[in-house]
Amino acid sequence: TAGITQAPTSQILAAGRSMTLRCTQDMRHNAMYWYRQDLGLGLRLIHYSNTAGTTGKGEVPDGYSVSRANTDDFPLTLASAVPSQTSVYFCASSDGGDSPYNEQFFGPGTRLTVL
Amino acid sequence: AQSVTQLDSHVSVSEGTPVLLRCNYSSSYSPSLFWYVQHPNKGLQLLLKYTSAATLVKGINGFEAEFKKSETSFHLTKPSAHMSDAAEYFCVVSERSGNTPLVFGKGTRLSVIA
């Protein structure tokens, strides 16, 4: 079982350009999440989706958008990248949906550099 | 709203000595608590979780944590450190009321000295 896959593994992006980070899970989990990880700040939630067709804002949603057209995919889009969006991005999923105390499973991450 | 504080940003221990990584939490409801580990350039892996069953929780690789409600703590311990334990550790809290997502601590980097 692949679990959660993310693409690309890493990317260098010019400021002002748009980009979509891809996330796919094969566990049929209801809930999916996007986090960014920055040194000294831990992981911060960007957006989440409790079930296909619904999304919600996390702690740091500005400059990012998501969609959840189906259960397996949860892409994260940067419409116009800025250098402060340089980070490592992790996608996660959990079976809980409305039960947030379930374990979250994480993808390997995407390292994004915005110049 | 819930929050979590990891009291040490960096802990250094010698191989074979005990490990203690400290975590305090704040939660309006009965929380669920987790410890995740992240090895260099890797994703996060669940070490253990507390969800209101036994207060002493055993996880993978010999780690365990004790939920102490009176102290609002969930410290992670291991009797004897191995070199392979060197990693970043995150304490995480979740309220089990409503659709509140996980809240991560800022992490503790564990170094193990040979």
> Would you list the DSSP string of chain A?
---EEEE-SEEEE-TT--EEEEEEESS--SEEEEEEEETTTEEEEEEEESSTT--EE-SS-TTEEE--SSSSB--EEESS--GGG-EEEEEEEES-TT-TTSPEEE---EEEEE-
Q: pLDDT tens digits for B17-68?
A: 999 999 999 987 778 899 999 998 888 999 998 877 788 999 999 999 999 9
pLDDT score of B71 more than 70: yes
Residue of B nearest to A40 (CA): B106
Q: What residues of chain A lie within 8 A of the CB of B36, using their CB?
A: 106
CB distance A101–B94 less than 8 Å?
yes
Q: Cα–Cα distance between B103 and A58 in angstroms, integer?
A: 10
pLDDT band at B109 (very low <50, low <70, confident <90, very high): very high
- Which 15-34 residues of chain B touch chain A by CB within 8 A? 32, 34
Contact B107 A42 (CB under 8 A): yes
Report pLDDT for B42. 85
Q: Which region among A76-80, A88-92, B64-68, B94-98 has the lowest average model confidence (pLDDT)?
A: B94-98
Residue B113, class by beta-carbon neighbours within 10 Å (0-12 exposed, 13-18 middle, 19+ buried)? exposed
Residues 6+ apart with CB under 8 A from B52: B30, B32, B96
**pLDDT band at B103, cuts 50/70/90?**
confident
Instruction: Considering only residues B29 and B71, tell me which one the structure prediction assigns the higher pLDDT.
Output: B71
Residues paired with B94 in a beta bridge:
B32
Closest alpha carbon within chain A to B109: A40
Two tokens at B33? 């608590």
pLDDT at B52: 74
Q: Suggest the residue from A50, A101, A106 to mutate for an interface test with chain B (most B CBs closer than 10 A).
A: A101
Average pLDDT on B1-22 reads 94
Highest mean pLDDT among A22-36, A101-115, B84-98: A22-36
Q: Which residue has the higher pLDDT, A82 or B52?
A: A82
Measure the CA–CA gap between B82 and A87, rounded to whole angstroms: 30
Chain B contact set for A45 (CB, 8 A): 101-102
CA atoms of A21 and A10, how far apart (whole Å): 10
Residue A100 to residue B100, Cβ atoms within 8 A: yes
Least-confidence region, from A74-78, A85-89, B103-107:
B103-107
Lowest mean pLDDT among A25-34, B91-100, B103-112: B91-100
pLDDT of residue B29: 75
Contact B42 A108 (CB under 8 A): yes
- pLDDT-derived band at A96 (thresholds 50, 70, 90) equals low
pLDDT, residue B94, reads: 82
Q: What is the pLDDT of residue A42?
A: 86
- HSE-up of residue A3 (Cα within 13 Å, Cβ side): 12
For residue A43, give the nearest of A77, A9, A90, A82 by alpha carbon: A90
